[in-house]
């Protein structure tokens, strides 16, 4: 085996000749396996390629039975070859048949081979297949030999991307990207419909010559590109004054990576092994992906995105002149990316019609920002960056989580009808904007909006919200690389109040922990984070952080009325302690000359069942209470809100839950304490009607929900609804939903 660099280089040169030489795709594949087997003194060399997402197919072999080519198949995860594809990791053994997981494919005649080494064929972190070498005798493959094989696999993947194997049976479909209409069933992360054209966030780069003709030339190219990259990143970091702090901090992190010696060493090694500089960059990046993707720490996984970005910048320097630097955004651009950072997405505000990500989740930071900017967004659209081409037509439904790439006429028509209907409804909501939400039987419900970043605030006018019933302050912390200081926080809170133009904004103090993770805060692993160290518990245990936020809020208010509430209070003493700290800060700042808020309202969120049963005094002490139904539901039903398997299992309209809410309404009424509901359910028309019917007179929801909820309230008689609900309860139904749907339909109430 060519353990030495010279040997592997000779092999690479020979591969290059195969690629440039005559023959169709299959002939080239056959030549590749022959060449690798000869060069590596192996009896067998085979290439298995993905036929579809689940299946690998033997596409070429030297040494195994030729009639097994294109007929021998195995599933991803099955046998040693399947396991390599699944884990994207090499596998080496001196005795394959006795290795756990071994599965013998009788049609190939491979039972006589003992030694086995296989490596994934992958490009940009996506496994396309597996390259295997086998020997009859037991032999030990060295690390250098495995590395050499990985380099060959890298070249094969580049050759495939450049179309070298097109025309071979099974290869065009397994390696080439899908053509024609493709539907992706992802997850909706921000509702809304968008029709537009694909704009790839990082356009795919195709390297037509993956093997170095002259290594010294490649070394020089890499060195030059590295210098250019460092210069670019230094400039970004140095010249970023005036740029928002979080962006500046990202550039600083880039600078650190760009100057990292380990990264440079790995790149040099890859170039020295005979790869073209671009392929060397991709190889190092693929390795980093494989390593970091297995890491559980979300902070480290986020760093992968920075590294990807940096590697792409380096590639651009290498290919300077061959690819446009920053392709212009087309009109109606739908941004398609593997993933995107929150700061980068902010840069696209107002310029894109939609966003589709391969990775991400509904709670990832990009999704948070997308919702703030009201960009229809679908996440988990698996493999879309591979299948989509710049300029392709694309339609996305951010509610259903569906993406149609290159849709056919019928689909487009149906989609446009849906857009037209949605626009009509929006027009109706617009006409309701100035009207109070008063039901047919004369109950008026105050409708507020939930917010979390400054970009949310313009929706206050557009939606007709009467105020902000929940400002999730932690979002400002989550989209940054560092803890925002007192001044930065004060500026944000002040701007939020400016934008609300005199309407009340209820600021919730930091609600971190559980699913809300700050990248810069050290975290202890907790066996059950939803029940762990989070929300007000963190605030009280870290009084410095808590007081800093309170001070920022008081300063930001500059004497204006201020409303603050504490998240997930579970017992009276927590509220009292937090209130004590808050009042202490007001007094302290006043003594330093800062104006006291004209009016201070201090409330708490009711998110744990324990609080429902607290002493009367508790209800009297709070200036107001806001029910955080998302958390209250998860604790009431013992069903994790982040766990897809259970989160939709129980209904908010379940009578047990409603009985508890009714008790909260009664206790607040008895104490004369204002009560609101700010969980997701408040934004769904039928649920909002039920909340109003049991006595809630203030609801806070996503801005887009205000129109539909108001329309439903205007058309409803709450007394009627209550009667229908009571009938269903008496008849022993678990949830009020079915009966109330029928009630709404019969009465023409739009829910």
Cβ 679 to ligand PEP shortest distance, Å: 3
Q: Does 703 bind ligand PEP (CB under 6 A)?
A: no
Q: Does 678 bind ligand PEP (CB under 6 A)?
A: yes
When the beta carbons of 392 and 511 are compared against ligand PEP, the nearer one is: 511
Cβ 472 to ligand PEP shortest distance, Å: 5
When the beta carbons of 248 and 472 are compared against ligand PEP, the nearer one is: 472
Cβ 607 to Mg ion shortest distance, Å: 5
Cβ 574 to ligand PEP shortest distance, Å: 16
The residues near 254 (Cβ < 8 Å, ≥ 6 apart) are 233, 236, 237, 306, 309, 310
601 to 630, contacts with ligand PEP by CB under 6 A? Answer: 607, 628-630
When the beta carbons of 60 and 470 are compared against ligand PEP, the nearer one is: 470
d(CA 338, CA 356): 8
In the list ligand PEP, Mg ion, none, the entry touching 472 (Cβ below 5 to 8 angstroms by class) is ligand PEP
Q: Does 173 bind ligand PEP (CB under 6 A)?
A: no
Among positions 511, 574, 651, 698, the unique one binding ligand PEP when judged by CB under 6 A? 511
| Given the residues 365, 443, 594, 668, the one annotated as active site | 365
Q: Does 711 bind ligand PEP (CB under 6 A)?
A: no
Q: Does 676 bind ligand PEP (CB under 6 A)?
A: no
When the beta carbons of 398 and 452 are compared against ligand PEP, the nearer one is: 452
Q: Which two tokens mark 248?
A: 């500046």
Cβ 249 to ligand PEP shortest distance, Å: 25
In the list ligand PEP, Mg ion, none, the entry touching 629 (Cβ below 5 to 8 angstroms by class) is ligand PEP
Q: How many residues belong to the site for ligand PEP (CB under 6 A)?
A: 10
Measure the CA angle with vertex 569, ends 610 and 449; round to 5°.
Answer: 115
- 168-180: buried (b, 16+ CB within 10 Å) or exposed (e) per residue? bebbeebbeeeee
Quick count: other Cβ atoms within 10 Å of Cβ 454? 16
**CA dihedral sign, ordered 491, 492, 498, 504:** negative
321 to 340, contacts with ligand PEP by CB under 6 A? Answer: none
In the list ligand PEP, Mg ion, none, the entry touching 128 (Cβ below 5 to 8 angstroms by class) is none
Residue with tokens 């962006």: 247
d(CA 448, CA 677): 10
3-class secondary structure, 463: helix
Cβ 470 to ligand PEP shortest distance, Å: 6
Q: How many residues belong to the site for Mg ion (CB under 5 A)?
A: 3
Among 6-14, 38-46, 152-160, 601-609, the segment contacting Mg ion (CB under 5 A): 601-609
When the beta carbons of 281 and 470 are compared against ligand PEP, the nearer one is: 470
Cβ 628 to ligand PEP shortest distance, Å: 3
Q: Does 25 bind ligand PEP (CB under 6 A)?
A: no
When the beta carbons of 201 and 641 are compared against Mg ion, the nearer one is: 641
The interaxial angle of helices 277-293 and 298-318, nearest 10 deg, is 170
Q: Which two tokens mark 83?
A: 């396991």
* CA-based nearest residue to 298, from 642, 542, 538, 569: 642
Q: Does 698 bind ligand PEP (CB under 6 A)?
A: no
The residues near 569 (Cβ < 8 Å, ≥ 6 apart) are 536, 575, 578, 604, 605, 606, 607, 608, 611
Q: Does 679 bind ligand PEP (CB under 6 A)?
A: yes
Q: Does 474 bind Mg ion (CB under 5 A)?
A: no
In the list ligand PEP, Mg ion, none, the entry touching 118 (Cβ below 5 to 8 angstroms by class) is none
When the beta carbons of 535 and 602 are compared against ligand PEP, the nearer one is: 535
Q: Does 505 bind ligand PEP (CB under 6 A)?
A: no
602 to 631, contacts with Mg ion by CB under 5 A? Answer: 607, 628, 631
Q: Which two tokens mark 143?
A: 């690390």
When the beta carbons of 149 and 606 are compared against ligand PEP, the nearer one is: 606
Among positions 283, 371, 472, 534, the unique one binding ligand PEP when judged by CB under 6 A? 472
Strands (E), 560-667: 562-569, 600-606, 625-627
Q: CB–CB of 26/60 below 8 Å?
A: yes
SS in 3 state form for 72-111? CEEECCCHHHHHHHHHCCCEEECCHHHCCCCCCCHHHCHH
Cβ 218 to ligand PEP shortest distance, Å: 51
Residue with tokens 């599933």: 75
Cβ 506 to ligand PEP shortest distance, Å: 11
Cβ 508 to ligand PEP shortest distance, Å: 8
Q: Does 469 bind ligand PEP (CB under 6 A)?
A: no
Strand ordering across the sheet containing 91-93:
73-75, 55-62, 44-50, 126-135, 115-123, 91-93
Q: Which two tokens mark 285?
A: 């990046």
631 to 660, contacts with Mg ion by CB under 5 A? Answer: 631
When the beta carbons of 208 and 635 are compared against Mg ion, the nearer one is: 635
Q: Does 631 bind ligand PEP (CB under 6 A)?
A: yes
Our answer to whether residue 59 is catalytic in this structure is no
Quick count: other Cβ atoms within 10 Å of Cβ 728? 21
DSSP symbols for 694-737: TT--EEEE-HHHHHHHHHHHHT--HHHHHHHHHHHHHTT-SBSH
Our answer to whether residue 201 is catalytic in this structure is no
Q: Does 484 bind Mg ion (CB under 5 A)?
A: no
Q: Which two tokens mark 94?
A: 């001196």
Cβ 206 to Mg ion shortest distance, Å: 47
Residue with tokens 């290159």: 406
Q: Does 684 bind ligand PEP (CB under 6 A)?
A: no
- Count of residues for the chain? 751
3-class secondary structure, 502: coil
When the beta carbons of 603 and 628 are compared against ligand PEP, the nearer one is: 628
Q: Does 192 bind Mg ion (CB under 5 A)?
A: no
The residues near 402 (Cβ < 8 Å, ≥ 6 apart) are 183, 184, 185, 186, 378, 396
When the beta carbons of 246 and 631 are compared against ligand PEP, the nearer one is: 631
In the list Mg ion, ligand PEP, none, the entry touching 555 (Cβ below 5 to 8 angstroms by class) is none
* Dihedral over alpha carbons 365, 367, 369, 372 (to 10 degrees): -140
Q: Which two tokens mark 280?
A: 């060397």
Active site residues: 365, 678
Residues that bind ligand PEP (CB under 6 A): 470, 472, 511, 607, 628-631, 678-679
Residues that bind Mg ion (CB under 5 A): 607, 628, 631
């Amino acid at each position: 085996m060519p353990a030495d660099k010279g040997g592997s280089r000779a092999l690479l040169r020979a591969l290059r000749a195969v690629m440039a030489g005559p023959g169709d795709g299959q002939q080239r594949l056959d030549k590749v396996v022959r060449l690798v087997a000869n060069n590596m003194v192996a009896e067998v060399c085979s290439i298995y390629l993905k036929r579809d997402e689940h299946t690998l197919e033997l596409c070429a072999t030297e040494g195994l039975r030729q009639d097994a080519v294109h007929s021998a198949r195995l599933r991803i995860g099955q046998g040693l070859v399947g396991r390599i594809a699944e884990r994207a990791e090499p596998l080496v053994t001196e005795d394959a048949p006795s290795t756990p997981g071994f599965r013998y494919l009788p049609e190939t005649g491979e039972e006589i081979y003992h030694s086995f080494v296989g490596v994934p064929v992958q490009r940009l972190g996506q496994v396309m297949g597996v390259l295997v070498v086998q020997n009859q005798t037991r032999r030990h493959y060295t690390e250098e030999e495995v590395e050499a094989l990985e380099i060959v696999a890298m070249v094969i993947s580049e050759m495939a991307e450049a179309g070298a194997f097109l025309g071979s049976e099974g290869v065009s479909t397994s390696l080439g990207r899908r053509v024609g209409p493709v539907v992706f069933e992802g997850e909706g992360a921000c509702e809304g419909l968008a029709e537009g054209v694909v704009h790839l966030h990082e356009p795919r780069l195709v390297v037509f010559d993956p093997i170095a003709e002259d290594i010294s030339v490649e070394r020089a190219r890499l060195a030059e590109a590295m210098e250019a990259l460092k210069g670019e990143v230094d400039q970004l970091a140095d010249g970023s004054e005036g740029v928002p702090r979080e962006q500046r901090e990202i550039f600083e992190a880039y600078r650190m990576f760009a100057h990292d010696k380990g990264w440079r060493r790995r790149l040099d090694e890859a170039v020295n092994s005979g790869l073209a500089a671009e392929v060397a960059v991709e190889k190092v990046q693929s390795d980093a992906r494989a390593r970091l993707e297995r890491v559980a720490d979300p902070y480290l996984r986020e760093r992968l995105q920075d590294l990807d970005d940096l590697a792409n910048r380096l590639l651009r320097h290498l290919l300077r002149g061959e690819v446009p630097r920053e392709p212009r955004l087309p009109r109606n651009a739908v941004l398609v990316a593997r993933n995107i950072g929150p700061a980068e997405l902010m840069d696209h505000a107002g310029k894109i019609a939609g966003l589709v990500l391969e990775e991400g989740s509904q709670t990832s930071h990009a999704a948070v920002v997308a919702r703030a900017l009201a960009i229809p967004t679908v996440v988990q659209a698996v493999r879309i960056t591979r299948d989509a081409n710049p300029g392709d037509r694309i339609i996305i439904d951010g509610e259903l989580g569906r993406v149609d790439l290159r849709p056919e006429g019928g689909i487009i028509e149906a989609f446009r009808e849906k857009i037209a209907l949605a626009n009509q409804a929006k027009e109706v909501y617009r006409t309701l904007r100035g009207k109070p939400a008063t039901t047919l039987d004369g109950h008026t419900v105050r409708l507020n909006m939930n917010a979390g970043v400054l970009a949310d605030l313009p929706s206050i006018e557009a939606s007709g919200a009467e105020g902000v019933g929940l400002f999730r302050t932690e979002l400002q912390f989550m989209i940054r690389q560092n803890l925002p200081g007192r001044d930065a926080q004060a500026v944000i809170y002040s701007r939020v109040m400016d934008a609300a133009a005199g309407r009340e904004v209820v600021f919730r103090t930091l609600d971190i922990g559980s699913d809300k993770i700050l990248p810069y805060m050290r975290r202890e692993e907790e066996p059950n984070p939803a029940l762990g160290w989070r929300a007000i518990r963190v605030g009280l245990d870290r009084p410095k952080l808590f007081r800093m936020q309170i001070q920022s809020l008081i300063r930001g208010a500059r004497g204006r009325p201020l409303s603050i509430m504490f998240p997930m209070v579970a017992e009276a003493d927590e509220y009292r302690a937090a209130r004590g700290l808050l009042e202490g800060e007001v007094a302290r700042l006043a003594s330093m000359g800062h104006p006291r808020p004209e009016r201070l309202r201090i409330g708490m969120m009711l998110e744990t069942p324990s609080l429902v049963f607290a002493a009367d005094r508790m209800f009297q002490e709070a200036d107001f209470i806001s029910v955080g139904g998302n958390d209250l539901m998860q604790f009431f039903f013992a069903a994790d809100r982040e766990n897809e398997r259970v989160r939709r299992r129980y209904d908010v309209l379940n009578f047990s839950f409603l009985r508890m809410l009714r008790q909260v309404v009664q206790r607040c009424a008895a104490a004369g304490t204002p009560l609101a509901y700010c969980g997701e359910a408040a934004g769904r028309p039928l649920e909002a009607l039920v909340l109003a019917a049991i006595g809630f007179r203030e609801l806070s929801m996503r801005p887009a929900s205000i129109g539909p909820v108001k329309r439903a309230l205007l058309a409803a008689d709450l007394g009627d609804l209550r009667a229908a609900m009571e009938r269903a309860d008496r008849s022993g139904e678990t949830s009020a939903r079915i009966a109330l749907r029928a009630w709404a339909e019969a009465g023409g109430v739009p829910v």
